[in-house]
Amino acid sequence: MIIVMQQNAQPKQVEDVVRRVEGLGYKVHLSRGEARTIIGIIGADEHLLQPTAFEAMDGVEKTMRVMQPFKVASRDFSQENTVIDVGGVKIGGPQIVVMAGPCSVESREMLLETAHAVKEAGATILRGGAFKPRSSPYSFQGLGEEGLRYLAEAREQTGLPVITEVMTPEDIEIVGDYADILQVGARNTQNYVLLRALGKQNKPVFLKRGMSSTIQELLMSAEYILSGGNMHVMVCERGIRTFEPLTRFTFDVNAIPVIKEMSHLPIVADPAHGTGKWSLVAPVAMAAVAAGADAIMVEVHPDPTVAWSDGAQSLTPARFAEMMKALAPVAQAVGRTL
């Protein structure tokens, strides 16, 4: 349920409603627009809440039940787009954020070289996997905490905030000690134990769409985190499984405007996993920006031919710089900046 305050509602009237909601044992999310303040009730069974309990209060214009199965993630819950501030980098605002770096942290030297290269080309967040969930148990699984230390050093040298994957609830604390954004990979999109644990954190969460998940299932997964009180959630379109064999996955560009209509959460596009081929990354990234994506995530490696994972879809630093130049006019054409 959401409570819409009157246009001239006073701060004390808003505080009284918030106090009433919290007194019932629920959490509150305040959305302060230019005209009105909207109070979202988190964790409530809407069938047990009586609208008249709030509509009689001073300053309240009306109450509304959220019809979507995902409540807090719904556009009904907040008409204002959520903007997540990560060390001064705002995801969901007018600027297109670019997250770039290697699929896996392979060594200190490789990571630092890549971090400086992507920073110089215009990336605003450094990505890199320290823990890697892989389809094969024999594939490289990541350097673990050693990789996290390298990521922290790269952040110190470049000033780029760091995003890296967390795989289990037990890993949240250690990954959170090093990372600025906690990533949930496609294989963990419906790991509800992990999602509930992330809902108790006060750190941004980057949630990838499962390779066979519908858009609604993605937003329901986001709801697990949001309902726990962590409002710093962004979702990622990274391609889904279809019958088409010529690309690694099928990048669902439709999902970007659909999610924009249905949800206030920022949406990130991952054209590397969506295509599996470096030559397709830049064109699909441009399409994603044109469709309304708030951020792009790509993989960059100094020498993709020797990458320990996902070399075929990784850009060299030179190709990444070319992609950044190509993205700029597309962003400008849709009223964004890069």
DSSP secondary structure letters along 215-266: HHHHHHHHHHHHHTT---EEEEE--B--S--SSSSB--TTHHHHHHHHB-S-
Residues 92 and 172: their CA atoms lie apart, in Å, by 24
- Total residue length of the chain: 338
Average pLDDT over residues 106-116: 97
Specify the pLDDT at position 8.
Answer: 86
pLDDT score recorded for residue 28? 85
pLDDT tens for 69-95 read: 888 899 988 888 999 999 999 999 999
| pLDDT higher than threshold 90 for residue 266 | yes
pLDDT band at residue 228 using 50, 70 and 90 as cut-offs: confident
For residue 16, give Cα distances in angstroms to 6, 12, 55, 152. 14, 6, 12, 43
Q: Which residues of 210-245 are buried (b: 16+ CB within 10 A; e: fewer)?
A: bbebebeebbbbbbbbbbbbbbbbbbbbbbbeeeee
Question: pLDDT tier at 107 (50, 70, 90 boundaries)?
Answer: very high
Question: Does residue 34 carry a pLDDT above 60?
Answer: yes
Query: Residue 326 and residue 320: Cα distance in Å, rounded?
Result: 10
Q: Which amino acid is at 153?
A: E
Selection from 260, 252, 211, 216 nearest residue 71 by Cα = 216
Judge whether 189 and 221 are in contact, CB under 8 Å. Answer: yes
**How do the domains of the chain map onto residue ranges?**
2-64, 84-333
Confidence of residue 31 (pLDDT cuts 50, 70, 90): confident
What per-residue confidence (pLDDT) applies to 77? 84
What per-residue confidence (pLDDT) applies to 208?
98
**pLDDT confidence of residue 37:** 83
Superfamily of domain 84-333: Aldolase class I (3.20.20.70)
- CA atoms within a 13 Å half-sphere pointing along the CA-CB vector of 146: 9
> Residue 134 above 70 pLDDT?
no
Per-residue model confidence (pLDDT) at position 7: 84
pTM over 0.75: yes
pLDDT at position 181: 98
| Mean pLDDT of the residues in the chain | 92
* pLDDT tens by residue, 144-193: 889 999 999 999 999 999 999 999 999 999 999 999 999 999 999 999 99
Q: Which CATH number fits domain 2-64: 3.30.70.1140, 3.30.1330.40, 3.40.30.10, 3.20.190.10?
A: 3.30.70.1140
Provide the pLDDT for residue 319.
98
